[in-house]
């Protein structure tokens, strides 16, 4: 009796994967679906890949080991496509594996439908043996439970770019691929192959079960390699742009912006050379300008929003400080493109995040970047950041005028979206902070509270008390809501408390310096009616000031 012809041709390209090819072939031989042929294409390996493949194949007649001179991954896959005769096609990379149910599950689904292809979820496998499942859909990484097959529409390019553009987690009808081949001589060749197929159909069936086992952290993996070959992403994307615009689908511009944003962010994750990163960012900005697009990251909360916003050359976080030397990351730091300095009178972009800091503060840019990333992925207008001491977790809420008066520039800063940012007060960090908080309060804008300090080594210098009082007298809060009773006295006593603490730190022989300060405060309080009148003060206001102003003791 003649054996049945194979129903699936598995194309397995292999180049210098001697340590992995045996496991890949073993996973094929363990398939519950036996009716397949496997074309193992040794693409000119210089290690023992061919020997290891031959040993793993043994005498299994379903396998052919084909050796060719090096033509790259695309050339190896194309060689397999030219030889394939089965009605269904699958791809398995030489360093990966199939789950035992891969072929059976995908074949059962595709043969029962009229679709041209079906995809499945992925398990990312690390060297320690752990597996991390992913649905293989960007923006929705968690596999469904229970894992239900879905026919995803592909009528708009925004629908298409959500799916992994990889060749390997799918089963195809051979007549759906027809004479289409992979572009040779480039990295990221899966992308245009996937997009050309997507242009031909309005549906992709998808099984979220993680049936493709993808090996992470292997030496030489293309997607994790830092070399100038990352620049091959640009011509590949240009080809995809042409495919998008020629196809009978909507959303070419939006789809391209979203795809480019994701891919450029992924490439920047692996670039460690400052020079290469600078050149890559420059080419990225040119790509967006050439196509008249802006980065679009909001569709996928797992994208790095800070990196995405910086792709066109505009730093997403503006640090406003009245200093000659900006407090920015080192120029060769990966954080450098995320921050820029502005003096109080300079304009800021509408998509920026803004933070006002006293001139002497040199923030921890990594902590500030993390706070900014969290804010960008939220619906909050701003986040209150501790400067020096960690803060307890607090739920997001609306600020009240009392909250605004609680904030101290020696302890707090506010990172806010540009649409809610107020012009800073040139003369006083306290009034800048209080004014910003009051504006957020009046705007009824929800505000988050971050626990991680952004300047744990900060030392805030003292402003002369007379300067603080003069600034308070001239300050216009710029909000309609009335300030709490005694707000003027509270901010004045906060400044006095800081001065007394500074004198105390100098040692007991300097305590005499406090006397002129206390006399001046008493005289100011007497003239302004601050003594014995209602209104709260900071809990840290020392006993001597409470006595002078006839305030109730703590507790």
- Say which CATH number the domain at 360 has: 3.90.550
Domain end marker among 307, 338, 359 = 307
Domain of residue 377: give its range. 317-467
Is the per-residue pLDDT at 296 higher than 80? Answer: yes
pLDDT digits (tens, 9 = 90+) for 117-138: 999 999 999 988 899 999 999 9
* Nearest by Cα to 89 from 207, 172, 179: 172
Q: Does one domain contain both 209 and 242?
A: no
Do residues 448 and 384 touch, judged by C-beta distance below 8 A?
yes
Query: Which pLDDT score is estimated for 202?
Result: 97
Q: At a CB cut-off of 8 Å and minimum separation 6, what does 337 contact? A: 277, 281, 310, 315
Q: Does one domain contain both 299 and 337?
A: no
Domain end marker among 246, 275, 307 = 307
Q: Does one domain contain both 300 and 324?
A: no
Is the per-residue pLDDT at 1 higher than 70? Answer: no
Do residues 453 and 419 touch, judged by C-beta distance below 8 A?
no
Q: At a CB cut-off of 8 Å and minimum separation 6, what does 428 contact? A: 463, 467, 468, 471, 472, 475
DSSP β-bridge partners for residue 37: 9
Query: Which pLDDT score is estimated for 3?
Result: 65
Q: Is residue 22 part of a domain?
A: yes
Find how far residue 313's CA is from the centre of its chain: 17
Question: What is the DSSP secondary-structure string of 80-113?
Answer: HHHH--SSEEEE--TT-EE-TTHHHHHHHHHHTS
Which run of H or E residues covers position 385?
A: strand 382-386
Q: What angle do CA 284, 286, 288 make, to 5 degrees?
A: 75
Strands (DSSP E) contained in 315-387 are 317-320, 339-342, 353-356, 382-386
What CATH number should be reported for the domain holding residue 24? 3.90.550.10
Query: Which pLDDT score is estimated for 459?
Result: 67
Is the per-residue pLDDT at 8 higher than 90? Answer: yes
Q: Is residue 128 part of a domain?
A: yes
Q: Number of helices and strands (H, E) in the chain? A: 18, 17
Q: Is residue 203 part of a domain?
A: yes
Q: Residue 250 carries which DSSP code?
A: B
Q: Does one domain contain both 301 and 390?
A: no
Domain count, the chain: 4
* Nearest by Cα to 321 from 279, 358, 285: 358
Q: Does one domain contain both 220 and 247?
A: no
Which run of H or E residues covers position 177?
A: helix 174-177
Do residues 370 and 452 touch, judged by C-beta distance below 8 A?
yes
Is the per-residue pLDDT at 221 higher than 60? Answer: no
Report the distance separating Cα 271 and Cα 274, nearest Å: 8
Q: Is residue 445 part of a domain?
A: yes
Q: Is residue 478 part of a domain?
A: no
> Exposed, middle or buried: residue 374 (CB in 10 Å: 0-12, 13-18, 19+)?
middle
Q: Is residue 80 part of a domain?
A: yes
Report the distance separating Cα 22 and Cα 28, nearest Å: 10
CB count in 10 Å sphere of residue 266: 16
Q: What's this model's pTM, rounded to 2 decimal places?
A: 0.88
Q: What's the average model confidence in pLDDT over 112-121?
A: 97
Q: Are strands 203-215 and 117-125 parallel, antiparallel or unpaired?
A: parallel
Backbone angles phi, psi at 325, to 5 degrees: -105, 110
Q: Does one domain contain both 254 and 335?
A: no
Q: What's the average model confidence in pLDDT over 469-478?
A: 83
CB count in 10 Å sphere of residue 162: 21
Q: Does one domain contain both 538 and 417?
A: no
Average pLDDT, the chain: 91
Q: Is residue 130 part of a domain?
A: yes
Q: Does one domain contain both 57 and 185?
A: yes
Q: What's the average model confidence in pLDDT over 17-30?
A: 97
Q: Does one domain contain both 272 and 350?
A: no
Report the distance separating Cα 234 and Cα 232, nearest Å: 5
Q: Does one domain contain both 293 and 258?
A: yes
Hey, what are 425's tokens? 């007060």
The Cβ-side half-sphere exposure at 149, using a 13 Å CA radius, reads 15
Of 164-173, 282-291, 347-356, 451-460, the poorest mean pLDDT is in 451-460
Three-state secondary-structure class, residue 208:
strand
pLDDT digits (tens, 9 = 90+) for 156-208: 999 999 999 999 999 999 999 999 999 999 999 999 999 999 999 999 999 99
Q: Does one domain contain both 295 and 321?
A: no
pLDDT digits (tens, 9 = 90+) for 371-429: 999 999 999 999 999 999 999 888 899 999 999 999 999 899 999 999 999 988 766 88
Domain end marker among 403, 432, 467 = 467
Q: Does one domain contain both 377 and 509?
A: no
Q: Is residue 477 part of a domain?
A: no
Hey, what are 241's tokens? 């742009």
Hey, what are 382's tokens? 């701003």
Which run of H or E residues covers position 354?
A: strand 353-356
């Amino acid at each position: 009796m003649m054996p049945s012809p194979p129903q699936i041709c598995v194309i397995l390209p292999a180049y210098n994967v001697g340590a992995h090819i045996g496991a890949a072939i073993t996973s094929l031989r363990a398939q519950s679906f036996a009716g397949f042929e496997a074309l193992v294409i040794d693409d000119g390996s210089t290690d023992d890949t061919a020997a290891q493949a031959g040993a793993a194949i043994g005498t299994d007649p379903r396998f052919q080991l084909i050796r060719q001179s090096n033509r790259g991954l695309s050339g190896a896959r194309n060689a397999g496509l030219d030889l394939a005769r089965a009605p269904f096609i699958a791809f398995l990379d030489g360093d990966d594996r199939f789950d035992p149910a891969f072929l059976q599950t995908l074949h059962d689904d595709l043969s029962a439908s009229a679709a041209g292809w079906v995809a499945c979820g992925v398990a990312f496998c690390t060297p320690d043996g752990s597996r991390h499942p992913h649905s293989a859909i960007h923006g929705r990484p968690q596999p469904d439970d229970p894992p239900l097959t879905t026919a995803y529409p592909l009528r708009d390019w925004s629908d298409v770019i959500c799916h992994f553009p990889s060749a390997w987690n799918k089963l195809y009808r051979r007549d759906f691929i027809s004479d289409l081949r992979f572009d040779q001589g480039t990295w990221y060749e899966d992308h245009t192959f996937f997009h050309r197929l997507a242009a031909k159909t309005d549906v992709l069936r998808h099984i979220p079960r993680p049936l493709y086992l993808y090996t992470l952290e292997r030496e030489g993996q293309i997607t994790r390699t830092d070399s100038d070959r990352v620049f091959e992403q640009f011509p590949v994307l240009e080809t995809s742009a042409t495919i998008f615009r020629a196809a009978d689908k909507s959303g070419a511009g939006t789809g391209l912006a979203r795809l480019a944003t994701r891919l450029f962010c992924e490439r920047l994750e692996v670039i460690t050379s400052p020079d290469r990163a600078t050149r890559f960012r420059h080419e990225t900005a040119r790509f967006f300008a050439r196509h008249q697009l802006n980065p679009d990251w909001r569709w996928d909360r797992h994208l790095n929003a800070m990196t995405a916003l910086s792709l066109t050359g505009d730093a997403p976080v503006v640090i406003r400080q009245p200093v000659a030397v900006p407090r920015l990351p080192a120029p060769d730091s990966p954080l450098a493109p995320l921050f820029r300095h502005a003096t109080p009178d300079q304009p800021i972009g509408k998509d920026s995040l803004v933070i006002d800091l006293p001139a002497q503060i040199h923030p921890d840019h990594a902590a500030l970047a993390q706070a900014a990333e969290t804010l960008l992925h939220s619906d909050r207008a701003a986040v209150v950041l501790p400067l020096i001491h960690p803060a307890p977790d607090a739920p997001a809420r609306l600020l009240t005028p009392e909250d605004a008066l609680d904030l101290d520039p020696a302890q707090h800063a506010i990172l806010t979206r540009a649409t809610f940012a107020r012009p800073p007060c040139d003369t006083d960090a306290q009034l800048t902070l209080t004014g910003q908080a009051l504006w957020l309060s009046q705007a009824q804008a929800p505000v988050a509270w971050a626990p991680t300090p952004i300047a744990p080594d900060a030392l805030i210098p003292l402003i002369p008390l007379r300067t603080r009082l003069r600034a308070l007298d001239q300050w216009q809060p710029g909000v309609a809501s009335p300030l709490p009773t005694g707000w003027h006295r509270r901010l004045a006593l906060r400044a006095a408390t800081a001065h007394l603490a500074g004198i105390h730190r100098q040692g007991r022989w300097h305590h005499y310096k406090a006397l002129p300060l206390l006399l001046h405060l008493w005289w100011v309080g007497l003239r302004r009616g601050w003594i014995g009148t209602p209104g709260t003060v900071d809990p840290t206001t020392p006993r001597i000031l409470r006595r002078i102003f006839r305030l109730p003791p703590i507790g």
